[in-house]
Structure 1
Amino acid sequence: MDTHLAQATLTNLDSSASADPIEQRVNALLAKMSVEEKVGQMRIVHAQLGVSLDEAGELVLSEHFKQQVKHGIAGIKNPGEHLPPEQAARINNLLQKYLVENSRHGIPGMFVTESYNGVDAAGTTDFSRPINLAASWNPDLVERVWDQVGREARSRGMHMCHSPEADLIRDPRFGRMSEAFGEDTHLVTEMVVAAVKGVQGNGQGLASTHIGAVTKHFAGYGQVEGGRNFASVQISERDLVDQILPPFKAAVQRAHTLGIMASHGDLNGIACHGNHHLLTEILREQWGFDGYTVSDANDIGRLFYFMAVAENEDEAALLGLRAGMNVDLYNEDCYVRLPQLAEKFPDIIPLIDQAAGNVLRAKFRLGLFDNPYVDEKAAPEINRSPASLALALESDLDSLILLKNENGVLPLSPEKTSTVALVGPLLKAQTLAQFQAAAGPSVTFRAEKGFSLTNGEINYPDLLTPEQCAEGLERAVQTASQADATVLFVGGDEFTSKEAFFDFAIGDRASIDLLGSQVELFHRLKALGKPVIVVLKHRRTLAINELAAEADAIIDAWDPGEQGDTAIAMTLFGQSVPSGKLPCTVPRTIGQLPFHYSQKKINYKKGYMFMENGPLYPFGFGLSYTRFHYENLQLSRDQIENGASLTASIKLTNTGSLAGKEVVQLYIQDPIGSVVRPLKELKAFRKIELQPGETKTVTFEITPEMLACTGADMVRKVENGDFVVQVGSSSEDVLEAGFRVV
């Protein structure tokens, strides 16, 4: 770090305060601040307002930006995002120095990023998306990935990330599906806890090496009607408590997330950004959250001009503040009004103090008052280190799901398949090189993308017509005709599944069928009479009925990171044994919606006319190159008193010829309750590695919380009666045993 920055001091802060507990420091600082300065700590602005480096490497700020931060600021979104790590660290040090030296009390700012593929900035490790990490069913791996995300972000001078998502995603029409960890409450909970602990350095790294998490979107965002961003959300109070809230509660109480972001939408008619019950009664009074809440982009203003639950910006600001919203993200027309509103409504001054105090507390926890700067020279060593790239490869390998392997066509043998065609619209520029490096010189590859899916317009993409794809399709078929086997890359990309921003972009889809000419290409390749191995890359669940029926093998890769194609090649050629499991049920058609495996059991009474019932692939499904045998499911007791625990154990044997990993999954059925219960619910899982012929006994503790539900009286408790324990390799392939609670 530059010497002049290292020697910069924080002005006007009591030197004795540094020895005081955080709460004393927060209160002492608040007592010195004006209302305008407190409100400054309740706003985040974007670096696009005018933060840059000139050719000499000096900070350049627009006059507009200076005006926005003249009374101090909670934070800045994405400063230095397009710069390499060392330059990003420099601009953030300089920006921090400006904020500190131009604040009457020397208050630093929090610099905020996003983390969907690692740190959302140039020169960082490109990890796979959260849905891929969920497919690994490996919380330890997830924590290690997010630990590296936290380290890379902090080295650049960042302090918070608006991630991870704790939403349940059960509607694949929703364009943001891959940003979250799947459809199941327990799986999402464990992934979110691992992610928050990782990025925050398990709490120990917050003040130096890691960043804080802002868990989002609180709550129910994934349940938007029709799968359309910004649409309404209707969730019963019982399902909210039992299914939607647990991942957020765990993020608060188990992982100690530093921040919570409210949901864009409403919740049963109440706008989440104006929901006192949600943001104050549940989050703070029931769960004990003492971090800060932040709006999603512009959403306090949208209480007025979109949600129409406030008549003007003043009412929107008051509604958000009184509900429990601490920080206004981006908007320049709502919380900026609070100083004037405080003169008219003095009762809001304690709420302003509380909100500003929550932000200041986070800054103290992040160590910003004691050490607001980072070592610029260290950033290049931390970002994209060899260990980080190896971790990216490990996470991609661990998340690949083998959906089909007809007649053991995989792994491919160079002796039988010396020439392999790589074709299809999801083929990337680096795919050929990564396959060549992974497979070695004994295999010859021929690559031909053929065609794209859309015209590549990011906001409103157009689907290419069959006529526009015809020439490329012929090239792909011709390339495949010269090979022993074909690896077909199909699915969807960043243009066909993405966030539908407020007023200038779409990203949701009414269909989950394969787009464009992809199915035609598949049939043309099958007609060549050679093995076709499908690699499915996508950001939303896709119905792949024809591929499932006719492909020789299918690898579900979701949307892997920069090491993804290397991981796929290694898996196809047997250098790695696939161990991923589906984090979402795969339907046959969008008409089956809802189709998550844990629906109420009465939903399974009837199927649909003229189609096979059930999912195409069940939740938790995933094959391996080796074989696993489950036997001898035993419960420690067949009857327990209400409030007691028991254990379930099962013997797992690798009966194949290769070492491999298996995800052992435990589900609970509650056959009779005071309310209609789900068919089954995942309650525990463990990823086990076994050598050929090796047997391990896997034991789970079944606790009262795993048996509890919100009953007819809206009290969450364990109801007496029979329970069924299911343990197996997926939600459908299980052994069963029963016990009774008395």
Structure 2
Amino acid sequence: MKLLTLLILALGGSLLAQTPAYQNSDLPIDERVDDLLARMTVAEKVAQMRIFHANQGVEGDVSGRLTLSENVKARLEHGIAGIKNPGEHLSPVAAAQVNNALQRYIIEHNRLGIPALFVTESYNGVDAAGSTVFGRPITSAASFNPELVQRQWDVVGREARLRGMHMCHSPEADLVRDPRFGRMSEAFGEDTYLVTRMVVSAITGVQGDYDGLGNGTHIGAVAKHFAGYGQVLGGTNFAAIEISERTLADEIFPPFKAAVKEARTLGIMASHGDLNGVASHANPWLLTEVLREQWGFAGYTVSDANDIGRLHYFMKVAETPEAAARMALQAGMDVDLYADDAYALLPAMVGRDSTLIEDIDRAAGHVLRTKFILGLFDDPYVDVAETEAGVRAESSLQLARESDAESIILLKNVGGTLPLRRSGQRIALLGPLVRENTEASFRAVAGEGLSFISDRGFELTDGNRSIPQLNDDTADGVDRLVEQAKEADVVVLFLGGDEYTAKEGFFNGALGDRESIDPLGPQDELVRRVKELGKPVIVALLHRRTLSINTIAERADAILDGWDLSEFRDESLARAIFGEINPSGKLPVTVPRSIGQLPFHYSGKEINNKKGYLFTENGPLYPFGHGLSYTTFAYDDLRVSDSTMTADGQLTVSVRVTNTGDRAGKEVVQLYLKDLIGSVTRPDMELKGFQKIALEPGEARRVTFNITPEMLEFTRLDGKRGLESGDYEVRVGTSSTQYVTTNFKLRAE
């Protein structure tokens, strides 16, 4: 017996000695990465630097059965960094089954058993069938509630992981200040501070406060597009980016820096564009010096679709495809998304230049490290039994409703038009944004005391997903809507834009940007004609880009701005119209009167405000931070803890906010700072804090903010970021144009 025991122990020790270090979950991740890299061929390493789309031939059916094309099998011969959107059109359970089968195939068919990353996107929740549909990021930003946004993205992370996904090419840390840009709604607004807080909340949520990565409950984030992507000239996708070094450092970088240092994002995606003429995908200063050496980023960088190859044939900064691959690799780009004409060339290039190995090891190592962090080497599969119960849970659906409730913005409400009473009225629901179930949603909320008419009237476009054409056959539809309005006591017009009128302009010829920001088609005409009937007109404004709604603002009695709400859009709008929701959203952007005012954001330099334009009123149509309520709020007794602040100190600012109306409501208290004199021209004001509070009628509360030295830093005349002595004005209020003020002096010496 003793001999048998010794034999078993000896065999166990021998088996343990044969287990590769990278398969030992007790070892530190860096040791596992180093051990695995040492075992890999060049082809295997380069495979860990490439992602292809599932549309290359990854197919699954409703029963969860997997089919792979010969093309895909060939792509998986040496393993793969990841696959984009596998199972996106399947139910969550079928997707989980397909992705389990796909992962098993990948592990069993590459020599070292390396799992793959399955990647999604998250603009309205997980970009896949059967997921909870939330409002888009700019809608969420209107809530001015980072805690709510974190809970929303926590659901996104959980639902994605339950489908078998591991990373998402989201959120966007870009600032969006040009409403011509079709992708405006994918980001969180125009302001550096607001976007920073929302991006940190989104990443923290989707990654499960980082702890959710290793325990298999959440997915990794890829913050994008680094950097300045939202500033493309003319608002057109793929155009050049012209921003100063000071603007880049002070306004564009902070959300990305916070994504790295505060939220610990696992990934960063580079921008389509350029900075100072240097293509972002071939910019070592951006991708290595700033991102890694200054900020300490340890995750992986990934190209935007095909952009490494485009260094040659589009950006025209590389003489050959091989030169493009070398430039991106040496700049610090780890992963090539989609292309077959870029990193696919690296194995042959290494045969001619072995010095590339060091950069290949770095890039592949960053990807492998991510897979270890996600626990994929130890537990690569989804528990399908948990998928059905976990996706679209009732709590997630309620969260979508809650997010809507806090994101709807009351832009205008003349004479208390809203909320509507629930009896004795006939209400017309009219316009091109009316849906098939809009009337049913309103009936369910309103109850039995009201009657409804609903009619879409006309379409805005022909619905072509690539290049939609404007619908010019609208006259009969407008006439019919006006006739319907005559039969109603109150008219609710559903106006704005949809997924065809603001979208991504893809490289393959698709268009999504606009040269005008006026409402499309005969929408202004419809508002004018309906208002001439002498009935109350309420506009439900639904859109994915800022619109110059001058006619709507002039003629409508009330405007509810919903941006792009959740799957409960109509229910949420009905609840707001009938007073179940007291709107508390605020504008995350400035609404211009005309496209001619662009570029136009509230924090532009003070000198921009010296002159207006002939024949039009100066200033915004609606300012950043604006949003009304069914109650009213008063601000007074603004206090600052000291008249002077030092470089190593801080101040406390407080204000009393009182609900002076007869309804409970929520108010976003906003803190702005204005540097009165600087060594360089300074922003007119900058948002530096906000708090969303709930107050009962007559209730008052003192709201407090801390002003720290970090809030006052900027890139000075000497080109260094730091403080300058001088005077500051504190502005605390309900928007960027309505506030109470006080002052303090900074002594930076």
TM over 0.5: same fold? yes
* Structure 2: tracts of 5 or more residues without a match: 1-17
Q: Is the 8 A contact 2:422 2:447 kept in 1?
A: no
Q: Counterparts of 2:225 and 2:249 in 1: how far apart (Å)?
A: 15
Task: Determine the structure 1 residue equivalent to 2:71.
Answer: 64
1:75 corresponds in structure 2 to 82
Instruction: Give SS of 2:212's match.
Output: coil
Q: Partners in 2 of 1:624 and 1:308 — Cα distance?
A: 52
The answer to whether the Cα contact below 8 Å between 2:22 and 2:36 also exists between their aligned partners in 1 is: no
Contact 1:205 1:211 in 2 (8 A): yes
- Which amino acid in structure 1 is aligned with residue 310 of structure 2? R
Q: Is the 8 A contact 1:12 1:104 kept in 2?
A: no
Superposed counterparts of 1:32-43, under 5 Å: 32-43=39-50
Task: Please list the CA deviations of residues 598-644 of structure 1 after superposition, one character each: whole Å capped at 9, or x if unmatched.
Answer: 01111111111111000000000000001111001100000122232
Q: Distance in 1 between matches of 2:645 and 2:305?
A: 49
| Mapped partners of 1:202, 1:55: distance in 2 | 33
Shift of 1:324: 0.5
User: Partner amino acid for 1:643?
Assistant: D
Deviation at residue 343 of structure 1 after TM alignment: 2.1
- SS of the equivalent of 1:354 reads helix
2:563 pairs with 1:558: yes
CA contact (8 A) 2:21 2:32 kept: no
Q: CA deviation at 1:138?
A: 0.4
Structural mapping, 1:644-663, within 5 Å: 644-663=649-668
| Pair 657,524 (structure 1): closer, same or farther in 2 beyond 3 Å | same
Shift of 1:342: 1.5
Aligned residue pairs: how many? 729
What letter is aligned with 2:206?
Answer: V
Determine the C-alpha separation between the residues in 2 that align with 1:520 and 1:237.
45
Deviation at 1:379, TM superposition (A): 1.3
| Identical columns (%) | 61
The residue aligned with 1:641 is 646
Of 65-74 and 86-95, more deviation after overlay is shown by 65-74
Q: 1:471 aligns with which of 472, 476, 480?
A: 476
Counterpart in 1 of 2:731? 726
In structure 2, the residue matched to 1:309 is: 317
Give the Å deviation of 1:396.
0.8
**Amino acid corresponding to residue 531 of structure 1 in structure 2:** P
User: Which residue matches 2:427?
Assistant: 420
Distance in 1, matches of 2:231 and 2:189, equals 12
SS of match in other structure, 1:125: coil
Provide closer, same or farther for how the CA distance between residues 268 and 127 of structure 1 changes in structure 2, counting only shifts above 3 A: same
Tell me the equivalent position of 2:152: 145
Once the two structures are TM-superposed, the CA of residue 430 in structure 1 deviates from its matched residue by: 2.0
Trace 1:129-278 onto structure 2 (pairs within 5 A). 129-207=136-214, 208-278=216-286
5+ residue gaps, structure 1, are 1-10
Instruction: Verify the 8 A CA contact 2:604 2:683 in the aligned structure 1.
Output: yes
SS of 2:242's equivalent? coil
Residue pair 1:13, 1:106 contacting (<8 A) in 2 also:
no
Give the Cα–Cα distance (whole angstroms) in 2 for the partners of residues 738 and 583 of structure 1. Answer: 26
The match for 1:117 is 124
Distance 2:495 2:677 in 1: 44
- TM-superposed deviation, 1:377: 2.3
Matching of residues 281-360 of structure 1 within 5 Å: 281-360=289-368
Please say if 1:28 is aligned against 2:35: yes
Shift of 1:14: 3.9
- Does structure 2 conserve the Cα–Cα contact (< 8 Å) formed by 1:12 and 1:106? no
For the residues of structure 1 that align with 2:635 and 2:239, how far apart are their CA atoms? 44
Query: 1:669-712 deviations in whole A, cap 9, x for unaligned?
Result: 00111101010000000101111111111000000011111000
For 1:582 and 1:512, how far apart are their aligned partners in 2? 17
Distance 2:463 2:114 in 1: 43
Q: In structure 2, how many angstroms separate the alpha carbons of the residues matched to 1:575 and 1:158?
A: 37
- Provide the residue aligned with 1:365 in structure 2: 373
Name the counterpart of 1:5: none
Q: Which residue of 2 aligns with 1:410?
A: 418
Check conservation: 2:118, 2:164, Cα contact below 8 A.
yes
Give yes or no for the alignment of 1:451 onto 2:497.
no
Whichever residue aligns with residue 45 of structure 1, its letter is F
The question of whether the paired residues in 2 share the 8 Å contact of 1:636 and 1:647 is answered with yes
Counterpart residue identity of residue 231, structure 1: A
Counterpart in the other structure of 1:572 = 577
Q: CA deviation at 1:57?
A: 4.3
Structure 1 residue 230, shift from structure 2 partner: 0.2
**Superposition deviation, residue 433 in structure 1:** 1.4
Shift of 1:53: 2.6
Q: Does 1:52 align with 2:73?
A: no
Question: Which among 529, 537, 541 is matched to residue 534 of structure 2?
Answer: 529
Q: Distance in 1 between matches of 2:232 and 2:596?
A: 17
- Matched with 2:395 is 387
Displacement of 1:419 = 1.2
Q: Which amino acid aligns with 2:640?
A: L
Deviation at 1:339, TM superposition (A): 1.2
Matches within 5 A, 1:491-502: 491-502=496-507
- Which residue of structure 2 aligns with residue 632 of structure 1? 637
- The DSSP-based 3-state class of the residue aligned with 2:510 is coil
2: CA distance, partners of 1:13 / 1:89 = 29
The equivalent of 2:384 in structure 1 is 376
Aligned to 1:400: 408
The letter of the residue matching 1:582 is L
Paired residue for 1:6?
Answer: none
- Residue 684 of structure 1: aligned partner: 689
What are the within-5 Å matches in structure 2 for residues 578-657 of structure 1? 578-657=583-662
Tell me the CA shift for residue 13 of structure 1. Answer: 4.2
The code of the aligned residue for 2:446 comes to: A
The letter for the 2-side match of 1:333 is D
- For the 8 Å contact 2:157–2:219, the answer to whether it is kept is yes
Task: Report what 1:8 is aligned to.
Answer: none
CA–CA distance in 2 between the matches of 1:440 and 1:201?
40
Matched, 1:741 2:746: yes
C-alpha displacement of 1:15:
7.5
Q: Distance in 1 between matches of 2:503 and 2:679?
A: 40
What displacement does 1:483 show?
1.2
Q: Cα distance, 1:197 vs. partner?
A: 0.3
Q: For 1:587, give the aligned amino acid.
A: P
Contact 2:136 2:564 in 1 (8 A): yes
Q: Quote the Cα distance in structure 1 between the aligned partners of 2:210 and 2:434.
A: 40
TM-score normalized with structure 2 length: 0.96
Change (3 A) 1:12 1:513: farther
Deviation, structure 1 residue 460: 0.9
Other-structure match for 1:538: 543
Shift of 1:267: 1.3
Counterpart of 1:126? 133
In the alignment, the residues of structure 2 paired with residue 592 and residue 57 of structure 1 have an alpha-carbon distance, to the nearest angstrom, of 53
Deviation track 1:269-288 (CA, whole Å, cap 9, x = no partner) reads: 11000010000000000000
Look up the SS of the partner of 2:744 in the other structure. Answer: strand
Question: Which residue of the partner structure matches residue 485 of structure 1?
Answer: 490
What is the distance in 2 between the residues matched to 1:344 and 1:705?
49
**1:414 Cα offset (Å):** 2.0
Contact map agreement 1:12 1:105 (CA 8 A) in 2:
no
Distance between the aligned counterparts of 2:464 and 2:93, measured in 1?
A: 32
Name the amino acid aligned to 1:215: A
Structure 2 CA distance for aligned equivalents of residues 326 and 403 of structure 1: 45
Q: Per-residue deviation at 1:86?
A: 0.5
Cα distance in 2 for residues equivalent to 1:640 and 1:232: 41
Structure-2 change in CA distance of 1:254 and 1:15 (3 Å): closer
Q: Which residue of 2 aligns with 1:7?
A: none
Q: Please state whether the residue corresponding to 2:474 is helix, strand or coil.
A: helix
Q: TM-score, normalised by structure 1?
A: 0.97
